[in-house]
């Protein structure tokens, strides 16, 4: 039975946390203390008030994703804005899991209104919903973007996997059987250079070493660098040509890493009846190493 939750506290940060400081804290061997009992997520939210959405960052983000710069902000920029706050929360000494061992499974963004370059917003981040998974445990990191009047502008929910430490049931094992992926007819190909992770890091600030070079990625058990998940998700969003003047929902699932340098085939499907654009991206392959799905994206334009 889950332990009863206590009232959540809120800690105000003076500014957005620094990515290098976050990853330095994540590498501290004193982190992720455990008492041998059932792990519990910290019941605290981090908040940064009056953060200005920088026009140069928004422009550079648009250009990196292959789009034209506009006064309306790509929701990927909102994710970039909140990401260091959520990471700082997960780098706390009382957080029960190692930050650099987490696997990003899904992202769900619900944006209630358009956001303009130069706006001031508040950012709140918290973690919740720790539950068993067939490969370990999952939890959600929830980032909320608020206007200066307290209105909720957008909610960004990232689901992470913690490998190991959970029991598997027969139902879990059955659900673990991966269905064979049959790729659709591709509508495009992304050729991703070895510098893709460094280019995204320059815009987002996310300098996680697994994305920057083969050498730094090998130190964390990867044979090569891998693309940031939110780079691929944001590029798919841009290519879906979404109307940013309307409320939207953006759902992403990550199935396999995208190695760098590498090539990714993509296919888009537009459903005008529901206002949804779907994208699937996969690594091409032959023989036993057949095509491998890497991500699926759905963007739905909502009614006002």
In a structure prediction context, what are the per-residue pLDDT tens digits for the chain, which is 304 residues long?
344 455 789 999 999 999 888 888 877 665 555 555 788 999 999 999 999 999 999 999 999 999 999 999 999 999 999 999 999 999 998 999 988 888 999 999 999 999 999 999 999 999 999 999 999 999 999 999 999 999 999 999 999 999 886 545 444 443 444 578 889 999 999 999 999 999 999 999 999 899 999 999 998 888 999 999 999 999 999 999 999 999 999 999 999 999 999 999 999 999 998 999 999 999 987 666 789 999 999 999 997 6
Q: Tokens 């930050």 — which residue?
A: 99
Taking phi over 0 as left and psi of -120 to 50 as alpha, with beta for the rest, 209 belongs to alpha
Provide the pairing of β-strand 152-163 with 262-271: unpaired
- Could you confirm whether domain 1-166 is CATH 3.10.129.10? yes
Rounded Cα distance between 86 and 142, Å, is 8
Domain boundaries defined on the chain: 1-166, 183-304
Q: Are 45 and 8 in contact (CB under 8 A)?
A: yes
User: DSSP character for 178?
Assistant: P
Return the CATH superfamily for domain 183-304.
Hotdog Thioesterase (3.10.129.10)
> How far is C-alpha 64 from the geometric centre of its chain's CA atoms?
17
Alpha-helical (H) ranges within 52-151 are 55-64, 75-90
Rounded Cα distance between 235 and 233, Å, is 6
């Amino acid at each position: 039975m889950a332990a009863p939750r206590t009232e959540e506290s809120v800690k105000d940060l003076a500014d957005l946390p620094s990515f290098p400081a976050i990853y330095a804290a994540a590498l501290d061997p004193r982190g992720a203390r455990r008492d041998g009992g059932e792990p519990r997520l910290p019941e605290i939210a981090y908040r940064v008030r009056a953060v200005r959405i920088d026009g140069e960052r928004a422009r550079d983000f648009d250009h990196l994703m292959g789009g034209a710069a506009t006064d309306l902000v790509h929701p990927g920029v909102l994710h970039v804005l909140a990401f260091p706050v959520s990471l700082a929360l997960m780098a706390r000494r009382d957080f029960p899991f190692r930050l650099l061992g987490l696997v990003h499974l899904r992202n769900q963004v619900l944006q209630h209104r358009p956001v303009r370059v130069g706006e001031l917003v508040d950012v709140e981040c918290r973690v919740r919903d720790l539950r068993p998974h067939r490969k370990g445990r999952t939890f959600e990191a929830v980032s909320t973007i608020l206007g200066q009047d307290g209105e909720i502008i957008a909610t960004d929910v990232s689901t992470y996997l913690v490998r190991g430490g959970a029991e598997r049931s027969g139902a879990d094992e059955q659900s673990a059987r991966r269905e064979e992926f049959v790729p659709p007819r591709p509508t495009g190909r992304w050729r991703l250079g070895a510098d893709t992770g460094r280019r995204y890091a320059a815009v987002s600030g996310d300098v996680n070493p697994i994305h920057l070079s083969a050498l730094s990625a090998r130190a964390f058990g990867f044979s090569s660098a891998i693309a940031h998940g939110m780079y691929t998700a944001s590029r798919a969003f841009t290519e879906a040509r979404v109307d940013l003047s309307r409320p939207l929902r953006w759902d992403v699932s990550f199935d396999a890493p995208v190695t760098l340098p590498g090539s990714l085939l993509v296919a888009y499907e537009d459903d005008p009846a529901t206002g949804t654009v779907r994208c699937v991206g996969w690594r091409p392959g032959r023989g036993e190493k057949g095509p491998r799905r890497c991500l699926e994206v759905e963007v739905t334009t909502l009614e006002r």
